[in-house]
Amino acid sequence: MTRILLADDHQILRYSLRVLLGKEGGIEVVGEAEDGRQAVDLARTLKPGIVIMDLQMPVLNGIEATRQILTENPTCKVIFLSMSSDPIVVRQAIQVGARAFVLKDCAYDQLIKAIEAVKKGEQYLSPKIVGVVLTDYMKQLESGEGLPPSVLTSRESEVLQLLAEGKTSKEIAGILGVSVKTVDTHRQNLMAKLDLHSIAELTKFAIKEGITSLDF
């Protein structure tokens, strides 16, 4: 039996996927998460074999949630299910260890193909995503650039997303279980690393890099 965790901030989508997947043999949906932090917590306790993960979620985005899940459980397989085919986020998803990337506007059978592929230890990309990946790769080759590593630490990415979502330092400290002083230090480090000088500029950067969409 393949144990699956659903992580998406849209309740209707989670319900629909649970119903559809429940009709498939050999699949059990063991939990649902409405934000990235809850996905990390549930993955820790439920230990699913597969996580179907949305990219854009509040509190903690899918990229960072995947990073944390795979750090704790490298054998877990993550399938991204997203509306976005932006080359930046597709590249980030692959770099962070996702085994499949399926667009939400694709047919349901593509998700099933992705599940079957990752169960076999293979990877799967929606046909549209294959084109995005190839185009992005060719641009990298033409420019002579490699894939740049993130300049931000995992915790800095978390703080950046929460700042962009309008959370105060006190609220962020409560969510992350750290002191307000620590949050302020992370904010100062973010501004220094990125050469940005206001929360507004940090927010624009977070949206541009796919860390948050603010569309929640």
Compute the CA torsion angle 170, 174, 177, 183 (nearest 10 deg): -20
pLDDT over 90 for what percent of the chain? 55
Q: Is the distance from CB of 53 to CB of 92 less than 8 angstroms?
A: no
pLDDT at 147: 40
Return the closest-CA partner of residue 149 out of 92, 65, 64, 68: 92
What is the average pLDDT across 90-119? 91
pLDDT over 70 for what percent of the chain? 89
**55-65: pLDDT as tens digits:** 989 999 999 99
**22-39: pLDDT as tens digits:** 999 899 999 999 999 999
Instruction: Pick one of 3.40.630.30, 1.20.1050.10, 3.40.50.670, 3.40.50.2300 as the CATH number of 2-143.
Output: 3.40.50.2300
* Architecture field, domain 154-208: Orthogonal Bundle (1.10)
What residue segments make up the domains of the chain, in order of their start? 2-143, 154-208
* Tokens 């509190």 found at: 59
